[in-house]
Structure 1
Amino acid sequence: MEEREELQSILAYLPVVMRCSSPFWPSQAVETLRELGGGRVNSGHHFFQAISDLRNALSLSSEPLAPSAPHGYALFFDEVMSGEESSKWFQEVLPALGNLLLRLPSLLESHYQNTDNMAIDGEAGAMLTTALRLLDSQQPGIVFLTQELIAALLSCSLFCLFPVSDRPVIHLPMINFDVLFGSLYDDYSQKQENKIWCIVHYFQRISSEMPKGIVSFERKVLPFKNDSIHISYPDANFWSTSAIPLCRFEVHSSGLIEDQSSGAVEVDFANKYLGGGALGRGCVQEEIRFMVSPELMVGMLFLPAMADNEAIEIVGVERFSSYTGEINKAFCGFLYQCKYQPYQKILQENGCTSALFYAATSTSMETDEGEISNHKITNSQNDYHGMDQGNNIGVATGNWGCGAFGGDPEVKTIIQWLAASQALRPFIAYYTFGLEALQSLDEVAHWILSQRWTVGDLWNMLIEYSINRSKGETNVGFLQWLLPSIYGHGARMDLPNLA
């Protein structure tokens, strides 16, 4: 097993060690995990001491954790949690996690044995592996993980057992939870507390009822060079001459992307690092999505930052929590556990059937004010090629990259519409979250569709706007520039009914 190329690529980033070609825990680690499994840890202070003992057993003491991490663990489990919640955590949940971690070596061994039987067809009849491995930049590939193995790996994150010193070298995001807990102590906020509650809910759930599904993580790459096999990275001429008609555009001024019921691909179009600031202090759209579906976070273990021509598709994660609160004041309300509710439509992809579909894609590119370039839109097209073209699966998305990254929401909207249309998606369900700049989006989209524009038509208008904006010839948003009549003194246009 140790000689497997897939395992070799990820072994330095896993907490287990190898002996006789098999993964195992050192004896000191086994002893500590058995203490946890036996329910002999009963406070946040003792919990972190067990974490320190495990890290010492794995020779990780030279990789310091966040300075406030021990205080953060003690604060949450000894003070934030009620006495009843704390008792349940230390008597039921933590022992279950300790026993799960004891089984991690055997789960990994079974994973690599089973993936030999789960290889998928590639080009020219070649069989492609689905085993856990480093999916590096510009290397397309897919990994299948059982939800049980994901739970064990995320338990390693909770226990801060992943080696991290070499992760920045290959642009891997943080994976341990020390910063998450440490920042709770350094600068307490309700949002940060509720992020941790989401993770706690997840561990409570899997400790009482382990999910039995499979999740796939796939890195998708649009090659920069043209060839006869792949869809390549399109240039400006490709977009300007496209005769593909624009897809249907649905505007939702309220509601959340993750609450959509149409079975659409749910888009995460924000940070080049998967998860963004989920394990730090971040608490906006991307981070919230990863908190309510913590299984997404395991992708942060083996998926380095995305380049401009890449996207990541994740299929099969479960949503474990929900939340209340305004989107710009996210996580200000009560959190509760959600029961697993699979989509009615069973999706088949790459030979793996999944009852719950979610695609998380991201890009490093942000829209510069007054300037549009080809590579900013190509990422979106890559995102929306997640499944076979011509299917009935639409796209649910929103104002990605328009907060901390300062993107233009009107331009971002059009970019995603162009990309989804070019990828032959039947519709976009766009969630504006009540953003004032997009109040007229529904009306403008309705007018554009009434003109029977193609992707090329809308692209060329966007380029013309970009040129005008960069020359200082206009300072209004794209929607008003395109259709000024609906912004004048409350005037409205009589638009044709496209129903």
Structure 2
Amino acid sequence: MEQREDLNSILPFLPLILRSSSLFWPSKALESLKALALGPDVSHVDSGEVLFDAILDLRDSIGLSSERLASRTADGYALFFDELMSRVDSRVWFGEVIPGLARLLLRLPSLLETHYRNADEVFGGRKAGLRIMAQQEAGIVFLSQELIAALLACALFCLFATSERSVRYLPLINFDRLFAALHSHAKRSQEQKIKCIVHYFERICLCMPMGSVSFERKVLPLKQSCDGISYPEAAFWRKSTVSLCPFEVFSSGLIEDQQYEALEVDFANEFLGGGALGRGCVQEEIRFMVNPELIVGMLFMASMGCNEAIEIVGAERFSCYAGYGSSFCFVGDYLDKKPCDSMGRRKTRIVAIDAVCSPGIMQYEVDCLVRETNKAFCGFLDASKYQHCSKIFQDADENNNEVSTANCNIFLVCEANAKQAKDPDNSENKGASNLDLIGKTENKSCQVIDSQVDIGIATGNWGCGAFGGDPEIKSMIQWLAASQALRPFIHYYTFGEAALQRLEQVTQWTLVHGWTVGDLWSMVVEYSFQRLRGETNAGFLTWLLPDHSTSNDVQCMSE
């Protein structure tokens, strides 16, 4: 195994030992796993109570006996597997699933060694092996679904060391809090969350998926640089002449059920997964239950800074559900039919972006508007497309074409190409293949970029609800970010939010009048100033298009 022993090494957090460049289970743990793999007739693990005793033995064998688990964890395992699970399901769980998971854990050392031999090759030599993804360090980790399953089995058995995780800004990943919370006021939703996890383990023991999942930390450098995109200031947004991308409103439906090529937004906590393994049961936590492979990112992804996002590609969905929060309910099996890309990842793209929590009136201050817009922009930006755009710009500049801007951050937009993709029969778009330079230049054009041009954004009331954000402002912020990130469309799911009843009317009016990112940003800032000064209590959508205003009145507002 060739992982370097550096600050980003995952080895101190794994339940294995390294000897002569190879990974091993400690001998006592190895014997315990072998017994579990032979089934309850040998291991005598046939109930939740005995399972937890076996977990304690495993933890002792790898040196974790001094690290305390959550209070009432033992009661939680016993309650779920001995009382809440049916006898039929219990026989399958202890007779087939637990032995299957033990066999999977026995393969963990070899799975990791294979992973480290091959991971970097997937991305043409780019570092992609399992490691701690620290703050402000952009990079990617590429894992097989089989390795993910083995790591999640470690979490079920509470085999990850926790004592040093907080100093590395890493969330907890063992499942002790998940089971302990069965004795809280959230018992019903907690039971349903565990049912999703149990169903996942049953599925992978029946048929191991053989695809892959990638986890990428995306960073907008805080230090301004002419070498690439950096953290924009308010002036950047005010001056942007990028056209707003098409905006479609969905009053019903769920982000995870959308059928388009889109980046699906996870309304995240700064610690990936939020309360998924605790008592939480809102948007992010639910997504992590129905797509449990997302949970493994909690093992190695440090919390996000204001200029960071996490993009996960390929996580398979295993469960159907109904409800939300306290009404959340596992409904049954889900067969994920999303096609896979050339690297074996399902074409499910999820981006985790964390909004400011409980911002109150401060959310209308410019600094907060900039922070939220930049956060969404970081998540929505396709860096490979941007680099391609930058190369075209550089080549043109070297040929003495007048294609420079005052700002060293360069943006090219595939506007004509995106419009053609959305409406190929529109005579105005037929044959359109130019890339318009963003900024007030002489309308120079370049070759078409064939880089995820059809992948838009699927989102909703990010940073609202429990986080306390203004849904009208947050919808505009995401529109600004998606447009500036050159995304061809944004699909917005309102989840029945009353404040967004006029969202479709306002967005369509804005598009008809050809507003740019800078135009919309200026209106958001002006509205926010008025809110701060107490000059208006109206929502942004009503303020922007009051019922008594004519089109000419509102057009004047943008000039």
TM-score (norm 1): 0.92
CA distance in 1, matches of 2:225, 2:234: 18
TM alignment of 1:91-490, pairs within 5 A: 91-120=95-124, 127-187=125-185, 189-325=187-323, 327=324, 329-331=326-328, 333-343=329-339, 347=341, 352=343, 354-366=345-357, 368-369=360-361, 370-373=364-367, 374-386=370-382, 388-389=384-385, 390=414, 391-485=453-547
Residue of structure 2 equivalent to 1:123: none
Residue pair 1:223, 1:233 contacting (<8 A) in 2 also: yes
Residue pair 1:119, 1:129 contacting (<8 A) in 2 also: yes
Per-residue CA shift, 1:142-171, capped at 9, x if unaligned?
110000000000000000000001111111
Q: Which amino acid aligns with 1:341?
A: K
Residue of structure 1 equivalent to 2:57: 53
Displacement of 1:329 after TM fit?
4.8
CA distance 1:417–1:81, change in 2 (3 Å): same
CA distance in 1, matches of 2:237, 2:65: 53
CA distance in 1, matches of 2:500, 2:119: 47
Per-residue CA shift, 1:273-294, capped at 9, x if unaligned?
1111100000000100010000
The more displaced of 188-197 and 456-465 is 188-197
Residue pair 1:371, 1:469 contacting (<8 A) in 2 also: no
CA distance 1:225–1:256, change in 2 (3 Å): same
Q: Which amino acid aligns with 1:410?
A: E
CA distance in 1, matches of 2:7, 2:335: 34
CA distance in 2, matches of 1:330, 1:5: 46
Residue of structure 1 equivalent to 2:449: none
CA distance 1:477–1:242, change in 2 (3 Å): same
Q: Which amino acid aligns with 1:10?
A: I
Displacement of 1:445 after TM fit?
1.1
CA distance in 1, matches of 2:61, 2:325: 43
Displacement of 1:129 after TM fit?
1.0
TM-score (norm 2): 0.82
CA distance in 2, matches of 1:300, 1:65: 17
Residue pair 2:28, 2:61 contacting (<8 A) in 1 also: yes
Matched, 1:76 2:80: yes
Structure number with greater Rg is: 2
Per-residue CA shift, 1:174-198, capped at 9, x if unaligned?
1000000001024452211110001
The more displaced of 361-370 and 206-215 is 361-370
Residue pair 2:145, 2:209 contacting (<8 A) in 1 also: yes
Displacement of 1:99 after TM fit?
0.6
CA distance in 2, matches of 1:185, 1:363: 29
Where in structure 2 are there 5+ consecutive unaligned residues?
Answer: 386-413, 415-452
CA distance in 1, matches of 2:542, 2:533: 17
CA distance in 1, matches of 2:222, 2:298: 25
Residue pair 1:306, 1:364 contacting (<8 A) in 2 also: no
Displacement of 1:117 after TM fit?
3.0
Residue pair 1:118, 1:129 contacting (<8 A) in 2 also: no
Residue of structure 2 equivalent to 1:90: 94
Residue of structure 2 equivalent to 1:124: none
Give the SS at the match of 1:117.
helix
Q: CA RMSD in A?
A: 2.1
Residue pair 1:284, 1:330 contacting (<8 A) in 2 also: no
CA distance 1:334–1:174, change in 2 (3 Å): closer
Per-residue CA shift, 1:117-141, capped at 9, x if unaligned?
3343xxxxxx421100011000001
Displacement of 1:114 after TM fit?
1.5
Per-residue CA shift, 1:67-86, capped at 9, x if unaligned?
20000000000000000000
Q: Which amino acid aligns with 1:301?
A: L
The more displaced of 384-393 and 259-268 is 384-393
Displacement of 1:10 after TM fit?
1.0
Give the SS at the match of 2:547.
helix
Displacement of 1:360 after TM fit?
2.4
Give the SS at the match of 1:42.
coil
CA distance in 2, matches of 1:432, 1:116: 40
Displacement of 1:295 after TM fit?
0.2
CA distance in 1, matches of 2:457, 2:30: 46
Percent identity for Structure 1 against Structure 2: 56
CA distance in 2, matches of 1:315, 1:251: 24
Give the SS at the match of 1:194.
helix
Per-residue CA shift, 1:417-442, capped at 9, x if unaligned?
00000011111110110011111111
Residue pair 1:422, 1:455 contacting (<8 A) in 2 also: yes
Give the SS at the match of 1:305.
coil
CA distance in 2, matches of 1:487, 1:161: 63
Residue of structure 1 equivalent to 2:66: 62
CA distance in 1, matches of 2:214, 2:11: 20
Where in structure 1 are there 5+ consecutive unaligned residues?
Answer: 121-126
Residue pair 1:220, 1:382 contacting (<8 A) in 2 also: yes
Q: Which amino acid aligns with 1:74?
A: A
Residue pair 1:68, 1:186 contacting (<8 A) in 2 also: no
Give the SS at the match of 1:407.
coil
CA distance in 2, matches of 1:146, 1:347: 14
Give the SS at the match of 1:269.
strand
CA distance 1:95–1:7, change in 2 (3 Å): farther
Q: Which amino acid aligns with 1:48?
A: F
CA distance 1:446–1:2, change in 2 (3 Å): closer
Q: Which amino acid aligns with 2:157?
A: F
Residue pair 1:146, 1:213 contacting (<8 A) in 2 also: yes
CA distance 1:284–1:188, change in 2 (3 Å): closer
CA distance 1:466–1:283, change in 2 (3 Å): same
